[in-house]
Amino acid sequence: MLLSLGVCSVRVNNSYSASALCSPIFVAMVDKNPEGLKMKRQIGLIGGVALVSGTMIGSGIFMSPQFVLAYVGSPGASLVIWVLSGVVAMFGALSYTELGTVISESGGDFIYILRIYGSGPAFFAAFTFVLVVRPLTISAMGISIAEYGVAPLYTGCPPPQLLVKCAAAAIILVAASINILNVRIALRIQVVFLVAKVGTLTLIVIGGIVEVTQSSTVIVDNLKVENAFKGTQYSLSTLGMAFYQGLWSYAGWYNLNNVIEELKRPEVNLPRAVVIAISLVTGLYLLVNVSYLTVMTPRELMSSNAVAVTWGNKVLGSWGWIMSVAAALSAFGSLNGTFFSGGRVCFVAAREGHMPGILAMAHVKRLTPSPALIFTTIISLVVLIPGDFQSIVNFFSFTAWFFYAITLSGLLYLKIKKPELPRPYRVPIILPILVLIAAIFLVLAPIIDDPQIEYLYVTLFIFSGIIVYIPFIHYKLCPGLLTRLTMFLQLFLEVAPAEKNL
């Protein structure tokens, strides 16, 4: 049997006898399960809907509306951005569904780019998602949860940033621990929190309806024809930034593709789950934004640090603090789902030899990819130190949509050049084309219209991965220190290599 140790491999004889390079824990495990470890298929349709919609409904809808409105400048244009963001998310998810049924492996963008374009482009995708995109997402969610959680303690003034970041770090550690310890518990938490999120957003919608019945002055002023689009800013940069913030609230539409090896009947449940989840989320988001506009003027909404809290103070009065708690819990459910799916990207990249081998191992009893989750947690805590919510979202969106565009171009290649491949699910070719155009716009528009040095830094960081790729992936150099470290961590964490579950 072949064992991955670091980026090396060590062969163990058929009797699985212990050797100088093989831990006794692993040998005992192999004797009990000669077929090796596999991640179980534990996600059904309800779990899939909860993972997609539960990850999407998080901090975005409670924090992004003021940024979307600030960028486009008018209530009507902001509602258009929210609708179009939902359409892009739906088309993108349906396109990824076809990819997921053609290439039925976990790992999302990384595995699709690897199978279509090869090792080099796939490594840059893994390098970026593991070290930039996922940690930035987790950090942004942690910050938003912390800000909502401490907001009731600091009425009238913003909370201290040190307190916010310490609270965010603690929240990230809690979410990581849940996913490391038990897959079933993580999935149950996802379902429970989804119900709570939908209940919270429904409360906001109902509150808006009640406000309209009592006084419709504010919403009429905001959305009447002559005011709805007054002051709209049409520059490429502002539209791109507004879409960044809107699509951040829909981030998660791709998450089920990351864990497809753990999804029951993926050819059936994958398309059903994404259609149900994204339709639900888009409808709720639009109604919630209308509810915000029933009680707040555009100036009030844009000046709010936490728009849901401001709405709660106006509508619920002394009970407004409930919105802070509800928003924090909602964002925590999204954070839990991001950990669940994001850790699998790191795990699959390591399994394919694009990350240290220890990250491709699973706990011998819990069957969770604990080393990959621990690594993701550490990087997220490092990213948390200098970050703020708005800049994190913008840079996350820039890097993420760059690789979404590559993945979608791969789907177009397969549809044109490989039409004979079996496809349990197909989408019209126009859908990936439209999402690809949107992705190219999102990557290029802010750079062309308002270039900033930060985008150059992000691009240089992505391509700096070549320093790692050439010696360690292409030429497979294997320092002895990495091998010894892998053996130590394998013993310490009680983990072993896990096989594909196809």
CB within 8 A of 22, min separation 6: which ones?
A: 3, 10, 12
In whole angstroms, give the CA distance from residue 429 to residue 384.
Answer: 39
3-state SS track over 43-86: ECHHHHHHHHHHHHCCCHHHHHHHHHHHHHCCHHHHHHHHHHHH
| 498 backbone dihedrals φ, ψ, rounded to 5° | -115, 145
3-state SS track over 459-491: HHHHHCCHHHHHHHHHCCCCCHHHHHHHHHHHH
In whole angstroms, give the CA distance from residue 292 to residue 421.
Answer: 47
Q: Is 191 exposed, middle or buried (0-12, 13-18, 19+ CB in 10 A)?
A: middle
Single-letter residue type at 164: V
* pLDDT score at 284: 92
Residue from 470, 472, 272, 256 nearest 345 by CA: 256
Task: Say if CB 236 and CB 76 are below 8 A apart.
Answer: no
Task: Say if CB 370 and CB 181 are below 8 A apart.
Answer: no
Q: Is 31 exposed, middle or buried (0-12, 13-18, 19+ CB in 10 A)?
A: exposed
**What single-letter DSSP state applies at residue 360?**
G
**Please, what is the Cα angle at 229 between 226 and 231, to 5 degrees?**
105
CB within 8 A of 447, min separation 6: which ones?
A: 455
Which residue in the block uniquely carries the two structure tokens 């090896």?
Answer: 261
CATH number corresponding to 2-499: 1.20.1740.10
CB-CB neighbours of 172 under 10 Å: 25
In whole angstroms, give the CA distance from residue 38 to residue 364.
Answer: 10
Single-letter residue type at 492: F
* pLDDT score at 36: 58
Which residue in the block uniquely carries the two structure tokens 């244009």?
Answer: 77
Q: What are the extents of the domains in the chain? A: 2-499
In whole angstroms, give the CA distance from residue 50 to residue 333.
Answer: 10
Residue from 320, 280, 292, 145 nearest 204 by CA: 292
In whole angstroms, give the CA distance from residue 100 to residue 8.
Answer: 29
Task: Say if CB 149 and CB 328 are below 8 A apart.
Answer: yes
In whole angstroms, give the CA distance from residue 92 to residue 85.
Answer: 10
User: How long, in residues, is the chain?
Assistant: 502
In whole angstroms, give the CA distance from residue 261 to residue 225.
Answer: 50
Task: Say if CB 484 and CB 352 are below 8 A apart.
Answer: no
One pLDDT digit (tens) per residue for the chain, 502 residues: 333 333 333 333 333 233 333 333 333 333 444 455 777 788 889 989 988 998 888 767 877 788 888 888 888 889 999 999 999 999 999 999 999 999 989 888 999 999 999 999 999 999 888 888 888 888 888 888 888 778 777 776 778 888 988 999 999 999 999 999 888 888 888 888 888 888 888 989 998 888 888 877 778 777 776 777 887 887 877 888 888 888 888 988 988 999 898 899 998 999 999 999 999 999 999 999 999 988 888 888 888 777 887 888 888 887 877 887 888 888 888 888 888 887 888 899 999 989 888 998 988 888 888 999 999 999 999 888 876 656 666 666 778 888 999 999 999 999 999 988 888 899 999 999 999 999 998 888 777 767 777 777 778 888 888 888 988 888 877 666 677 888 888 889 888 887 776 6
| Cα pseudo-dihedral 57, 60, 62, 65, rounded to 10 | -130
**What single-letter DSSP state applies at residue 359?**
G
* pLDDT score at 465: 86
Pairing verdict, β 361-363 and 495-499: antiparallel
In whole angstroms, give the CA distance from residue 135 to residue 152.
Answer: 27
